[in-house]
A and B are shown apart, each in its own frame.
Chain A
Amino acid sequence: MSSHYEAPIREPLVLGDKSYHDISVDVGAPVLGKANKYWWIVFSIALVAFLWGLGCIVYTVSTGIGVWGLNKTIGWAWDITNFVWWVGIGHAGTLISAVLLLFRQKWRMAINRSAEAMTIFAVVQAGLFPIIHMGRPWLAYWVLPIPNQFGSLWVNFNSPLLWDVFAISTYLSVSLVFWWTGLLPDFAMIRDRTSSPFQKKIYGILSFGWSGRAKDWQRFEEVSLVLAGLATPLVLSVHTIVSFDFATSVVPGWHSTIFPPYFVAGAIFSGFAMVQTLLIVMRKVSNLEDYITVTHIEYMNKVILLTGGIVTVAYLTEYFIGWYSGVPYENYTYLSFGAATGPYWWAFWALIICNLIVPLSLWVKKWRRNIKWTFFVALVVNIGMWFERFDIIVVNLSKDRLPSSWAMFTPTFVDIGIFIGTIGFFFVLFLLYARTFPVIAQAEVKTILKSSGAKYKAMRETGGQMSGSTRDSRTSSIYKEFDVMARTPVSNSSVSEGRSGFGDDTIEHEPTVNADALIDNEAKKDQIDQMLVRVGRFDPATQTADDLKKISGVGPIMEQNLHQMGIYTYDQVSKLTKKEYDLLDDIINSFSGRAERDDWAGQAKKLKK
């Protein structure tokens, strides 16, 4: 069909000879199969790291924030660095699923599920840091505007730190809901494919009883679109507000108007780098190379290149403005000559090399399609973006306006332990996800199979017949009587019976219905058609109309209305049920439930005899 057309110049997004059933099998395999040795090894390492981090968190909370390397000058360091780093990583998922959905980028479908999972897991890590930093995390509810024991001393809504609370909790919860709604049809697929009763039960609960009705899909698509529209400004707002934590202060190097857009670009930059890191491994381990192709990797590299370019421009601007201002304090900021040559020179150059120089290699097509090089660049960008936040926070704070209080920051084993612990926690969650969740939005990928699958693109090139081409002998083998492949599909037939298409007003409806004056849309007409199937059609050639006015409650006008609906006989009226009453209620103004009260169907039954 022409609706599946996609320009031949576009590279296929699904490789290999795939049918719809193949997609179900491939996506279901990691969930339904057994974990291999490597999964257990990596999972154990991640779990140990997580437990170590947990120990450090317990130590911090039970002893006090003094166990960190903070000092009087540098009051924020690794905690906020890690917080911003993780929030930044948590930007790619919603960007991929929301922004790319609005832009109708089909390649998002293979990667959005995992990117969203990564987002949620990263935001969970990010959220840990402010809560630990509170020192007394059991009082975390004090950030919420709830009436309290101090009279009604409310939280301060003028503060960006409180905006953060609202922004991040909204982001986390909306991302979670967006992710889960998209997962429902895929959980349903696993539920219907598994043979284990336990899995069937679990995935039945997780899928919320998704049945795939046409109306559900209609709502599903609308909800996805609206959520994408809501999530797009949301994702931009979150990192904007995170940047306000710094930009609304008066610390040199923080007090900067370009922070919001620059932070958002940096967040996307680091988020895509993390997606690359994870998916390059996952596509291999889970045998999904036909779905997450080199083309996908190249597209993501292009986004990294773009956002990396934005970040570069921001760095240069900061450096130039700091120098051009002539203010001596600006020479201590994280992007200045003073920083490049001062005690934190290594952090400065780590930032420049990782975020500016190495990603430039992606301008070369051969390199951005090289999987090993991409993996390396992604790791470098992850490190570089951590240094960006470290520089902004620690380097800027290390030299304040009073030279006597200048200081350096040295992390303690607790600082390092908590950071390693969040990385472990993140991988624990992601590895569990990769084993138990459908990691590719298979329902969505099926919608693009005929337009972007390699098999179908080739088939279209050679003039093959698309209609009927997705039949799979593995699922349709019991069917023997009529061979669908042998008969000519209707779309090929030159004689077309009945309706020519949908949505046009020329389609035929029941000839006995003359309700144009009462009805404003096609859907209603169809509902009336269906009602007449249920109650029976009136054939003027063989039947005669009954006097409907004999039914108590039906006057001459109502009779006329019923005639307009195609209802002429007692027999028809006697078959009316609640469903039909509701429909007539909807269409005829004066109907207003009286048919049910007066029991027209019962009356008509008696009159019929």
Chain B
Amino acid sequence: MASPNVIHVLYNDDDILMNAVKEIRANHYTIEEVYTPFPVHGLDKAMGLAPTRIAITSFIYGLIGLSVAVWMMDFIMIEDWPRNIGGKPSFTFYQNMPAFVPIMFELTVFFAAHLMVITFYMRSKIWPFKKAENPDLRTTDDHFLVEVLVGDNDLEKMSKFLQETGAAEISLVHNEEA
């Protein structure tokens, strides 16, 4: 099934957009999506988006990186082929550990940073050769587009209301076969 009918409301000012988003929601209309050219601070809260958990994933990836480094150092330098290098103690991991701190740190950062960014790309569905989905080209320039679900609302009343929120342009997008 195609996506349902929506109204695209374009704004040309971030302050107007913020007020509009609050008003639209206060009147129980459903905002499907908002496209903006830059991060409008507070917009996620105004839209009622849940906070992102991507920082938590980064922390977990960092722990994985640290564990990999510890396991790798222990296996390579202590278990598999211990060597006497400049008299540095190689009998236990604990004794040799200070020399491994740089590697442990680097691998923690490596895992935390790269896996978090990959998670971000996957979650936001962005990757090379992905086609852009912003409905209006000006949303990467200076326009802000709010996609409002028509649902079972009265179209006339709704568009009048949306005009009054300070919209610069309003267009109905037919997706359903009606």
Q: Is A211 touching B132 in the complex (CB atoms < 8 A)?
A: yes
Stretch at the interface among A39-47, A150-158, A301-309, A350-358: A150-158
Looking at the complex, which one of B30, B102, B120 makes contact with A181 (CB distance below 8 Å)? B120
Stretch at the interface among A6-14, A340-348, A486-494: A486-494
Looking at the complex, which one of B41, B106, B123, B132 makes contact with A188 (CB distance below 8 Å)? B132
Residues of A within 8 A of B143 (CB): 475-476
Task: Give CA–CA (A276, B62) in the complex, Å.
Answer: 35
Residues of B within 8 A of A188 (CB): 132, 134, 140
Looking at the complex, which one of B37, B45, B124, B125 makes contact with A446 (CB distance below 8 Å)? B37
A547 contacts the other chain (Cβ, under 8 Å)? no
Stretch at the interface among A284-292, A394-402, A410-418, A528-536: A528-536
A82 contacts the other chain (Cβ, under 8 Å)? no
Q: Is B54 touching A223 in the complex (CB atoms < 8 A)?
A: yes
Task: Give CA–CA (A213, B132) in the complex, Å.
Answer: 11
| Chain A residue nearest in CB terms to B24 | A498
Looking at the complex, which one of B37, B45, B81, B120 makes contact with A20 (CB distance below 8 Å)? B37
Q: Is B116 touching A173 in the complex (CB atoms < 8 A)?
A: no
Stretch at the interface among A163-171, A420-428, A588-596: A163-171
B109 contacts the other chain (Cβ, under 8 Å)? yes
Residues of A within 8 A of B133 (CB): 209, 211
Identify which of residues 484-520 in chain A touch chain B, using a CB-to-CB cut-off of 8 Å: 484, 487, 489-491, 497-499, 501-503, 507-508, 510
B91 contacts the other chain (Cβ, under 8 Å)? no
Looking at the complex, which one of B76, B131, B164 makes contact with A209 (CB distance below 8 Å)? B131
Q: Is A522 touching B48 in the complex (CB atoms < 8 A)?
A: yes
Identify which of residues 422-464 in chain A touch chain B, using a CB-to-CB cut-off of 8 Å: 443-444, 446-447, 450
| Chain B residue nearest in CB terms to A492 | B19
Q: Is A218 touching B52 in the complex (CB atoms < 8 A)?
A: yes
List 12 interface pairs A-B (beta carbons < 8 Å), by A numbering. Answer: A157-B73, A192-B134, A208-B128, A214-B34, A214-B44, A233-B105, A467-B13, A479-B169, A499-B26, A526-B48, A533-B151, A533-B153
| Chain A residue nearest in CB terms to B139 | A212
Interface residue count on the A side (C-beta < 8 Å): 105
Nearest CB on B from A275, distance (A): 23
Q: Is B37 touching A166 in the complex (CB atoms < 8 A)?
A: no
Residues of A within 8 A of B105 (CB): 233, 237
Q: Is A479 touching B168 in the complex (CB atoms < 8 A)?
A: yes
B177 contacts the other chain (Cβ, under 8 Å)? no
Task: Give CA–CA (A181, B39) in the complex, Å.
Answer: 14
Chain B 130-159 interface 0/1 with A at a Cβ cutoff of 8 Å (1 = within): 111110011111110000010111000000
Q: Is A158 touching B76 in the complex (CB atoms < 8 A)?
A: no
B173 contacts the other chain (Cβ, under 8 Å)? no
Q: Is A223 touching B117 in the complex (CB atoms < 8 A)?
A: yes
| Chain B residue nearest in CB terms to A205 | B128
Q: Is A166 touching B103 in the complex (CB atoms < 8 A)?
A: yes
Chain A 216-259 interface 0/1 with B at a Cβ cutoff of 8 Å (1 = within): 11111111011100110110010001001000000000000000
Q: Is B48 touching A490 in the complex (CB atoms < 8 A)?
A: no
Residues of A within 8 A of B128 (CB): 205-206, 208
Nearest CB on B from A141, distance (A): 16
Task: Give CA–CA (A162, B77) in the complex, Å.
Answer: 13
The interface centre, meaning the residue of A206, A216, A487, A536 with most chain B CB atoms within 10 A of its CB, is A216
Q: Is B123 touching A219 in the complex (CB atoms < 8 A)?
A: yes
* With A145-B72, A209-B131, A471-B12: A221-B39 Cβ-Cβ less than 8 Å: yes
Chain B 102-114 interface 0/1 with A at a Cβ cutoff of 8 Å (1 = within): 1101110110111
Task: Give CA–CA (A209, B134) in the complex, Å.
Answer: 9
| Chain B residue nearest in CB terms to A168 | B106
A189 contacts the other chain (Cβ, under 8 Å)? yes
Task: Give CA–CA (A221, B36) in the complex, Å.
Answer: 13
* With A173-B114, A177-B113: A185-B140 Cβ-Cβ less than 8 Å: yes
Residues of A within 8 A of B141 (CB): 20-21, 24, 189, 192-193, 475
| Chain A residue nearest in CB terms to B145 | A212
* With A181-B117, A230-B112: A498-B27 Cβ-Cβ less than 8 Å: yes
* With A170-B110, A237-B105: A215-B16 Cβ-Cβ less than 8 Å: no
Q: Sort chain B's interface into a size bin.
A: 35 or more
Q: Top 5 nearest A-B pairs by Cβ distance?
A: A498-B26, A209-B130, A20-B142, A526-B48, A499-B26
A560 contacts the other chain (Cβ, under 8 Å)? no
Residues of B within 8 A of A152 (CB): 80-81
By a beta-carbon cutoff of 8 Å, the part of chain A in contact with chain B is: 1, 3, 19-21, 24, 145, 151-160, 162-163, 166-167, 170, 173-174, 177-178, 181, 184-185, 188-189, 191-193, 204-223, 225-227, 230-231, 233-234, 237, 241, 244, 443-444, 446-447, 450, 466-472, 475-476, 478-479, 482, 484, 487, 489-491, 497-499, 501-503, 507-508, 510, 521-523, 526-527, 529-530, 533-534, 536
Q: Is B29 touching A466 in the complex (CB atoms < 8 A)?
A: no
Looking at the complex, which one of B123, B134, B165 makes contact with A211 (CB distance below 8 Å)? B134
Nearest CB on A from B66, distance (A): 13
The interface centre, meaning the residue of A225, A230, A497 with most chain B CB atoms within 10 A of its CB, is A230
Q: Is B41 touching A3 in the complex (CB atoms < 8 A)?
A: yes
* With A208-B130, A214-B33, A215-B124: A226-B169 Cβ-Cβ less than 8 Å: no
Q: Is B15 touching A536 in the complex (CB atoms < 8 A)?
A: no
Nearest CB on A from B81, distance (A): 6
Q: Is A217 touching B43 in the complex (CB atoms < 8 A)?
A: yes
Residues of A within 8 A of B60 (CB): none
Q: Is B109 touching A234 in the complex (CB atoms < 8 A)?
A: yes
Task: Give CA–CA (A539, B130) in the complex, Å.
Answer: 44
Residues of B within 8 A of A447 (CB): 38-41
Task: Give CA–CA (A530, B4) in the complex, Å.
Answer: 14
Residues of A within 8 A of B165 (CB): 490
| Chain B residue nearest in CB terms to A157 | B77
Nearest CB on A from B55, distance (A): 5
Residues of A within 8 A of B152 (CB): 533, 536
Task: Give CA–CA (A215, B131) in the complex, Å.
Answer: 17
* With A208-B121, A214-B36, A484-B168: A489-B16 Cβ-Cβ less than 8 Å: yes
B178 contacts the other chain (Cβ, under 8 Å)? no
Residues of A within 8 A of B121 (CB): 208
* With A3-B42, A475-B138: A489-B15 Cβ-Cβ less than 8 Å: yes
B83 contacts the other chain (Cβ, under 8 Å)? yes
Task: Give CA–CA (A487, B80) in the complex, Å.
Answer: 77
Q: Is A470 touching B76 in the complex (CB atoms < 8 A)?
A: no
B163 contacts the other chain (Cβ, under 8 Å)? yes
Q: Is B117 touching A476 in the complex (CB atoms < 8 A)?
A: no
